[in-house]
Amino acid sequence: MRMATAVIGLLALAALAGCGGSTYPTSGGGGGGGGGGGGGGPAGQIVVGNILFKSAHNGTQNAAIDTVAVGSTVTWTWTSTGSVAHSVQSQRTPSFPSSAILTGNGQTYSFTFTTPGSYAYDCAVHGAAMSGTIVVR
């Protein structure tokens, strides 16, 4: 009986651990500080949601801010966007090639950053309401 109770407890704990990340955070976010700490996912993974960019690494959003090493590939993934179109549009200099305007969950856009700098981006459809920065060091 003790073994069954222990197994059930471990399964419940594992189920709760899987509930921690939402693609729609309830708190505003953003701004400060680069992508160095406090994150769950790898740097360079950005969630494209309904009217938000969110760093999978550190949770920053609008502006999503990630710091990656030179040579890193950053991937933006459309998640829970339904039929709302979004894009990754490079702003200012230095720049990177912008994505097409894409619709639908599971769409991705990736770019490998080979030159240090601070790369600002937004969504061509939503402008400054969806923004982010990739800091390459």
pLDDT digits (tens, 9 = 90+) for 63-73: 999 999 999 99
Give 36-70 as a DSSP string.
-SS-SS-TTEEEEETTEEEETTT--BSSEEEEE-T
Report residue 120's pLDDT band, with 50, 70 and 90 as the boundaries: very high
| DSSP summary character for residue 29 | -
| DSSP summary character for residue 7 | H
- pTM value is 0.70
The pair of three-digit structure tokens given for residue 55, joined into one six-digit string: 């760093």
What pLDDT does 111 receive?
97
Greater pLDDT, 3 or 133: 133
Element (H, E) at 8: helix 2-17
What pLDDT does 27 receive?
25
Mean pLDDT, the chain, rounded, equals 77
Beta-strand relationship, 45-49 and 117-123:
unpaired
Note the pLDDT tens digit of each residue in 1-35. 443 433 333 333 333 333 333 332 222 233 333 33
Greater pLDDT, 28 or 49: 49
Is the model's pLDDT at 131 over the cut of 60?
yes
